[in-house]
A and B are shown apart, each in its own frame.
Chain A
């Protein structure tokens, strides 16, 4: 059962061959047995999962089942879950149990899905390797057989690793600068970051509010579509969510790709990319040509400024978003504070990890009096130029394709002491968040036995087209079905 997709499990449940309680028990047993190798979960919610499975079986018996009723999955530990601790990978929230559901959580609950637990992540979603989690690094299932512990990517590394290791068929994720796509690429699974505003951010713990977007990780494009069907939609609790009709994302998966116009941004095929990686990506593009697509080179002239602009805007927003973690109302508070200032400084010094503190400092600096114009305002101007670059590109083509990451999964510890090298992991993904566009990462081959991801970028609200393109590719390739040994 653990190798089956969400769509397949849904059919198994519908046929009555297995109950959700039985299925959930199988997944839980496997999860408890296997996850020691990956550390992909922070919290396993066995009791709640079995209760949800029981309720799902009753829901099905009552004829009220959805595609998700009784299907096990997991939430990234950034989505608040009513009554279940939500840590965001931080000591600060080690014992935080929210009294409310995120809108994403509530929607899966309503659909009758069975949440097995909360997946590991970089602390406050800040990282590209899942090494900044207070709950320990996550190990990529790929490469383990050769005795090397590689990173799964980040920040949704727990979700990507859990899906790759067949611990769950699908897991929610979030993407601020590449946090869905890069781990999906490094773990050989399929991930989608929707258009900014497509999925509610309510109850999704904020890192950088103007960039954060909830999304999906599963093995197939079809399962991503099933997830997005649940997650997408306007939410009156999120003023930045967009009131726009949500299509059935599975309905257009089988549209032919004949005439699809693909653009290859030349700035994304430079010497930062190893020839082996580039070859895999170009092979994938050739598959699309075989499916009837046309390919041309396009230019995103300001793409090179994306990392710099991002590392001003994201930390600036984070510096304010993380001010609420002050030890006053919830979360970690230092022992025996001697006065208010002592409580603030020690609570935050002890509660946050190094990368989080680094970004709070960078963001605070960028917003400071006398620096605001030079950093924050300038970065916002760059952001508009980048948006314009994409708008120009989409006048010529339907989708853009590029590598998702510059290299495959690297060995744990390799980049931890060099933040700038680590930040370059997101060089192909970050501009998309600055523009607010949707993008996917789709398994597209291997280099040295490690997965390579193809990034497909669409225009605003083109999720259905991206899923269609990914699904068609997965009909003629089997990269997404390869299982790590």
Chain B
């Protein structure tokens, strides 16, 4: 049987406010446990929440960026459940009147199509703390530094029909919130966490199947794997004539396994009710216009500009415009390097590969866009060969030296581009390889001849101590050998 896959996402986005949503504690990541938890975060008796205006501003900016209606009257509810890292015994969240209403995001897919994913709503809420289960001799440790960090929970309509679409949407959302500057986007630190709702239905049917929710996926790769895994699991059950149980599941990315966390029947009754400690927040026109004036260039506009301004193709422009920090890096490199296309190639090639190999973000890169731009200048003006340029890049990356020209000098990477000197070297090498010259000249297949040219390059580079301009050597060879 053929199946349609139906996917909806819930995404928790940590807002990059300096302080928590209802207290003045810092939200900075990585501090010693419980050093960023004050009396309010610890839910000490008598303490009260005071809303952080910036969290509302960021949420409204998000709403504007996803073409959504802004909730003019924002209410908070208490969601009641007991857990050791939930200090008050309830989470302050929004249910009836969320700050962001229906909107949409357009996502470019690999096949060139554009997919519109509708946003059901997005609401503000507070994050919980963390339970630490290792290193406590069979007991659990509680770290409340994260408790009270502002989140927006973005809920989509079930508009995605494959893992690829879901991941493309997730990446687009990541690109949006980082471009807006409302989230640091660091998924390894939990700044964005995805819950995936998946169901299957017979191809073409308009009746939705029973869904499951896979919670807390914190990388695009795990998300893709988890969806593939869950689709396969459901398909096996359905094709064996079984039924899907509505449940929440946990996915283990390291083992590619999932297990049931709780079924619908076991689900908590959260006993939501309006939080009496917080009055409804009215969002007026001025507040919305202020938020609108703070919107930076968004990824779609940036992509169009990259095509226009730098002459990039759709693919390159899409890749470089998505991540705000990468886009800024590219623009800095392009400004210094004068050759935007070459800068784009280097960023997508050497630079990205190196970041990935060392598991670093753009922000953590040891080299700057300006440095890469300087290197691009030297490649473009033939001062260094591409092989030489890789050595310069390496020296920049390891911090051996921070000046491109100094590295070229110090390592002797400057190409010899003096045609007379190069011609003399070619003459000498060809004189020493008469058999190969004859062989080349007797070959009629141009493809094979081209390949045979490579046989002369090794000795030439050796003769020039690696500094001969390979492009010029090639031209001279062709001329001397006769076509």
Contact = CB atoms under 8 A, between A and B. Distances in A.
B162 interface: no
A367 B47 CA distance: 23
B210 interface: no
A326 B82 CA distance: 8
Contacts of A329: 42-43, 87, 142
Interface string B425-462: 00000000000000000000000000000000000000
Interface residues of A, number: 43
Contacts of B269: 368-369
Contact of A372 (B90, B273, B278): B273
B276 interface: yes
B478 interface: no
Interface in A233-251: 236-240
A238 B46 contact: no
Q: Looking at chain B's contact residues, is the secondary structure mostly helix, strand, loop, or mixed?
A: loop
Contacts of B45: 80, 86, 88, 93, 96, 98, 205-206, 324
Contacts of A210: 276
B302 interface: no
B265 interface: no
A210 B271 CA distance: 17
Contacts of A475: none
B142 A328 contact: yes
Interface stretch (A108-116, A315-323, A389-397, A427-435): A315-323
Contacts of A330: 42, 44
B48 interface: yes
Interface stretch (A196-204, A216-224, A274-282, A294-302): A196-204
A262 to B, nearest CB: 32
Contacts of A326: 82, 84, 89
Nearest to A101: B46
Interface in B14-60: 39, 42-51
Contacts of A99: 39, 44
Given A99-B39, A364-B271, A368-B269, A239 B279 contact: yes
B78 interface: yes
Contacts of A410: none
Given A320-B78, A324-B87, A376-B273, A236 B50 contact: yes
A326 B46 CA distance: 15
Contacts of B142: 328-329
B80 interface: yes
Contact of B48 (A239, A316, A344): A239
Interface string A206-218: 1011100000000
B277 interface: yes
Contact of A320 (B46, B87, B89): B89
B295 to A, nearest CB: 28
A420 interface: no
Nearest to A202: B48
A209 B47 CA distance: 11
B414 interface: no
B273 A202 contact: no
A201 B48 CA distance: 8
B146 interface: no
Residue of A201, A205, A206, A323 with most chain B CB atoms under a 10 A cut-off: A323
A202 B46 contact: yes
Given A239-B279, A317-B276, A328 B84 contact: yes
A324 B88 contact: yes
Contact of A239 (B49, B82, B84, B89): B49
Contacts of B51: 239
Interface in B75-104: 78, 80, 82, 84, 87-90
B48 A237 contact: yes
Nearest to A93: B45
B91 to A, nearest CB: 11
Interface residues of B, number: 28
B80 A367 contact: yes
A344 B277 CA distance: 25
Contact of B273 (A86, A205, A239, A316): A316
B80 A100 contact: no
A107 to B, nearest CB: 14
Considering residues B48, B50, B90, which has the most beta carbons from chain A within 10 angstroms of its beta carbon? B48
B271 A340 contact: no
Contact of A323 (B44, B46, B82, B273): B82
A100 B44 CA distance: 10
A98 B44 contact: yes
Nearest to B88: A324
Interface string B254-274: 000000000000000101110
A326 B84 CA distance: 8
A369 B39 CA distance: 32
A83 B47 CA distance: 16
B46 A98 contact: yes
Contacts of B82: 323, 326, 344
Contact of B271 (A204, A209, A368): A368
Interface string B49-75: 111000000000000000000000000
A372 B80 CA distance: 14
A379 to B, nearest CB: 11
A336 B45 CA distance: 24
A330 to B, nearest CB: 7
Contacts of A372: 271, 273
Contacts of B49: 239
Given A316-B273, A323-B80, A203 B50 contact: no
A344 B269 CA distance: 17
B46 A206 contact: yes
Interface in B270-309: 271-273, 276-279
A226 interface: no
A236 to B, nearest CB: 7
Contacts of A376: 273
Contacts of A323: 80, 82, 88-90
Contacts of A93: 45
Interface of A: 78-80, 86, 88, 93, 96, 98-100, 102, 201-206, 208-210, 236-240, 316-317, 319-320, 323-324, 326, 328-330, 340, 344, 364, 367-369, 372, 376
6 contacts: A98-B39, A202-B48, A324-B43, A329-B42, A367-B80, A376-B273
- Complex A-B, nearest 9 residue pairs according to Cβ-Cβ distance, in ascending order: A323-B89, A209-B276, A367-B271, A210-B276, A203-B46, A324-B43, A205-B45, A369-B269, A205-B46
Given A202-B46, A323-B82, A324-B87, 17 more contacts: A79-B46, A86-B45, A98-B46, A201-B48, A202-B47, A202-B48, A208-B276, A209-B276, A319-B80, A320-B78, A320-B90, A320-B271, A320-B273, A323-B89, A328-B142, A367-B80, A376-B273
